[in-house]
Amino acid sequence: MSETQTGAPVLPILIHPAPVLRRTARPVTAADAEEIRRLVPAMFATMYKAPGIGLAANQVGSLLRVIVVDVAKDEPAPLALINPEIVARSDETATQEEGCLSLPDQYAEVTRPARVRLRYQDPEGARKEIEAEGLLSACLQHEIDHLNGILFVDHLSALKRNILLRKLAKAQKELKARA
Ligand code: K1U
Ligand code: ZN
């Protein structure tokens, strides 16, 4: 584990088929406040270092319903969402190329609702709502899927999923052989 300038640790990102990626995360309660104060900065440090535009707690081995995202291109626009819940989805869909830090170097087009409205709490416990479209919408849906043990490949046909997962397994095997 390395440390960033903020002092927050960069955590190891778990790679498929790590079992925790298939588990459902549990709601955060007031009793988790101390863990949230530690986890959220560490998740941001890990996401920015990767680099990525989102990260779910499962990906760093925690089963709390916590996600972080930042899809901004220029100035940082970090967003930490505790207990995020999709409360409305558009009928219109949008297709976006997705990647996943837990499936390194694998990409595919995924079709999801174009716009979503979310309810969540910020790290201080304040209730919030957000409406998203475009990349932010796809990223939020991707991260909430993680909290439910779902990976973007689950939205693909069995054929495409198997090709991608076999490619990943082969690449991981070669990496281990070289280490
Ligand atoms: O959850 C994750 O694994 C993070 C994932 C999020 C995501 C990407 C694309 C569409 C939906 C969700 C990533 O961040 S993969 C890396 C990535 O997209 C990226 C990396 C560097 C610069 C820009 C994007
Ligand atoms: Zn992912």
* Mutation pick for ligand 1 pocket among 48, 100, 153, 155 (CB with most ligand atoms within 8 Å): 100
Distance 46 CA to ligand 2 centre (A): 13
Which residue's alpha carbon is at the smallest distance from atom 14 of ligand 1? Answer: 52
pLDDT at residue 145, as a whole number: 99
The secondary structure of 64-109, three-state, reads ECEEEECCCCCCCCCEEEEEEEEEEECCCEEEEEECCCCCCCCCEE
Q: Which of 124, 131, 143, 174 is catalytic?
A: 143
The yes-or-no verdict on residue 5 having pLDDT over 90 is: no
pLDDT single digits (tens) 47-73? 999 999 999 999 999 999 999 999 999
- Taking the whole predicted model, whether its pTM rises above 0.75 is answered as yes
Q: Is 54 in the pocket of ligand 1 (CB under 6 A)?
A: yes
pLDDT tens string 127-145: 999 999 999 999 999 999 9
Strands ordered across the beta sheet of 116-121: 54-56, 66-69, 79-89, 116-121, 127-132
The reply to whether 92 belongs to the active site is no
